[in-house]
Amino acid sequence: MSAAEGRPQRGLRINRQLVIPPAEITVRVSRSSGPGGQHANVTASRVEASFDVLASTALSDAQRRRVLARTGPRLVAIAQDERSQARNRELALERLGERLTQALAVPKRRRPTRPTAASRERRLQAKRRGTERKRERRPPEE
């Protein structure tokens, strides 16, 4: 691997307990189709950061199962927004962290609720008004 390719210097902090070590994140660079004009033809400013979920030692078994179920065995984030490779590297790692955070999030359990007495009454009043409106639209009976 050249200096342009490789691993981030520090680990990627996901939350207070979880930090992904640099060895588990692969960063590849290539030529960008993004902004830069003639500059884009000579620099490798597109950055692709990937994380192998199955091979990770940082994730617990429960976390690994959750991420696999939601994203699959490999998380990838690409950045080619900026002219600078360093800035695109930051963006790609940031996006990778966001995707991993979303995949690890435990959804809140829905607590079933009952409609209030007032809301039931409002619903019935609205139904009565609709019925009355339609009744008034009918032609008169002879």
- Residues 64-97: pLDDT tens digits? 999 999 999 999 999 988 888 899 999 999 999 9
pLDDT tens for each residue of 103-140: 999 889 999 999 999 999 999 999 999 999 999 999 98
CATH of 12-104, one of 3.20.20.70, 3.30.465.10, 3.40.50.300, 3.30.160.20: 3.30.160.20
Instruction: Count Cα neighbours of 104 within 13 Å in the Cβ-side half-sphere.
Output: 20
Residue 7 pLDDT greater than 60, yes or no: no
Q: Work out the angle at residue 32's Cα, subtended by the Cα atoms of residues 24 and 21, and round it to the nearest 5 degrees.
A: 10
Cα–Cα distance between 141 and 119 in angstroms, integer?
Answer: 35
* pLDDT value at residue 5: 47
The answer for 36, left when phi > 0, alpha when psi is -120 to 50, beta otherwise, is left
Cα–Cα distance between 142 and 124 in angstroms, integer?
Answer: 31
* pLDDT value at residue 92: 94
Is residue 128 within 8 A of residue 136, CB to CB? The reply is no
Count of residues making up the chain: 142
Q: Which one, of 99, 18, 23, lies nearest residue 63 by Cα?
A: 18
pLDDT tens for each residue of 30-46: 887 756 666 666 778 89
Q: Which one, of 25, 68, 64, 71, lies nearest residue 48 by Cα?
A: 25
* pLDDT value at residue 2: 42
* pLDDT value at residue 1: 41
pTM exceeds 0.75 for this model? no
